[in-house]
């Protein structure tokens, strides 16, 4: 039994909380956010009370079955295969996460930054900057980084291992059966679909095992993870080389994953490290070109009618708050004013 397993408090009788009408109503509000003009949302809301009651009855009677996922290719600009759930299934995903996410979040390390309340990219940037200063003694000494990426992470998550991790904490059989339904809705024997709320949550649950290994077994002080990307800073390059091998071994033996050989490397911080959209050097950081392309593509999606005004404004405000951390000031200002003119037209 691992140190993490011994510390865990277990939970029973969660299912009635998950399927309660109050929770389903809250889940519906979250699922519709930024999608209020989508045809499938409008259709569901034509008879909202009735549709939520039907969903509640199916969940209560355990006759609920999710619809097949709809898959498409998204280029933003990185090409990805996205599989999205039917709207009513997204409500169920939110209902599940509303109840069990706070339970697991208490077990997550402080520096697991993605898809968590009061965390995210800006939090990760601040933590990286703090660790950068500490590892280099306020930029006065040389330090090194291990920047790593897990190879094909979402496609390679082992559902059996994931379920065993969840069952260490959740003992409610009906809740486990609902989770199994959601996991088995993906057509492959292993992996989780990109594009689902539950996949984002389960991704943190799965890699929490790695987080505990790095923090409590290796005792790495300056470690940050954002989804399947992580970085460790140290004054010792030799130590990072050893840790990289031990991490890869842990991933293979315990989670059936491995580091991406081409995207996982060790180097001096003076050479710059790519992490959460920036290339960070000792005294400045640059915004990666891919991040500029992504916001441009989002604007184009809005113009095509694929994003609501509410959603595009939310995306832009978040992007601007993020991009302003870069020192490529002139380019950011130019982009900002170009988008500002676009948004004047939107408003």
Tell me the pLDDT band of 94, cut-offs 50, 70 and 90: very high
Lay out the sheet containing 285-287: strands in order across: 273-275, 278-280, 285-287
CB of 131 closer than 8 Å to CB of 197? no
HEC secondary structure over 130-172: HHHHHHCCCCCCCCEEEEEEECCHHHHCCHHHHHHHHHCCECC
Structure tokens at 255: 């989670």
Task: Note the pLDDT tens digit of each residue in 151-210.
Answer: 999 999 999 999 999 999 999 999 999 999 999 988 777 888 888 899 999 999 999 999
Cα separations in angstroms, 321 against 274, 317, 324: 19, 6, 6
The pLDDT of 102-117, averaged and rounded, is: 95
Helix axis angle for 21-32 and 87-105, nearest 10°, is 110
- What token pair was written down for 315? 């995306």
Residue 58 CA from chain centroid, whole number: 29
18-70 confidence digits (pLDDT tens):
999 999 999 999 999 988 888 999 999 999 999 999 999 999 999 999 999 88
């Amino acid at each position: 039994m691992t140190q993490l397993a011994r510390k865990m408090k277990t939970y029973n009788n969660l299912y009635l909380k998950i399927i309660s009408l109050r929770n389903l109503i809250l889940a519906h509000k979250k699922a519709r956010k930024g999608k209020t003009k989508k045809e499938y949302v409008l259709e569901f809301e034509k008879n909202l009370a009735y549709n939520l009651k039907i969903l509640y009855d199916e969940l209560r009677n355990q006759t609920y079955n999710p619809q097949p996922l709809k898959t498409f290719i998204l280029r933003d600009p990185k090409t990805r295969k996205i599989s999205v759930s039917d709207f009513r299934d997204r409500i169920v995903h939110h209902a599940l996460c509303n109840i069990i996410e706070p339970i697991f979040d208490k077990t997550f390390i402080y520096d697991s930054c993605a898809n968590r309340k009061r965390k995210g990219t800006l939090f990760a940037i601040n933590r990286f900057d703090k660790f950068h200063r500490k590892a280099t003694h306020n930029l006065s000494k040389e330090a090194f980084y291990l920047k790593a990426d897990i190879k094909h992470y979402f496609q390679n998550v082992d559902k059996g291992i994931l379920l065993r991790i969840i069952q260490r904490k959740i003992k409610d059989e009906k809740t486990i059966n609902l989770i199994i339904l959601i996991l088995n809705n993906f057509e492959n024997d292993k992996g989780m679909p990109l594009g689902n709320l539950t996949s984002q949550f389960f991704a943190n649950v799965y890699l929490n095992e790695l987080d505990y290994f790095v923090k409590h077994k290796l005792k790495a002080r300056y470690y940050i993870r954002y989804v399947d990307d992580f970085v460790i800073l140290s004054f010792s390059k030799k130590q990072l080389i050893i840790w990289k091998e031990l991490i890869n071994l842990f991933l293979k033996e315990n989670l059936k994953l491995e580091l991406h050989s081409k995207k996982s490397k060790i180097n001096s911080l003076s050479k710059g490290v790519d992490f959460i959209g920036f290339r960070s050097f000792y005294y400045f950081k640059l915004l990666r070109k891919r991040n500029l392309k992504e916001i441009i593509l989002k604007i184009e999606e809005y113009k095509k009618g694929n994003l609501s005004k509410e959603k595009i404004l939310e995306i832009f405000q978040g992007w601007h708050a993020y991009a302003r951390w870069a020192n490529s000031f002139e380019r950011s200002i130019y982009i900002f004013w170009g988008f500002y003119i676009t948004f004047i037209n939107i408003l």
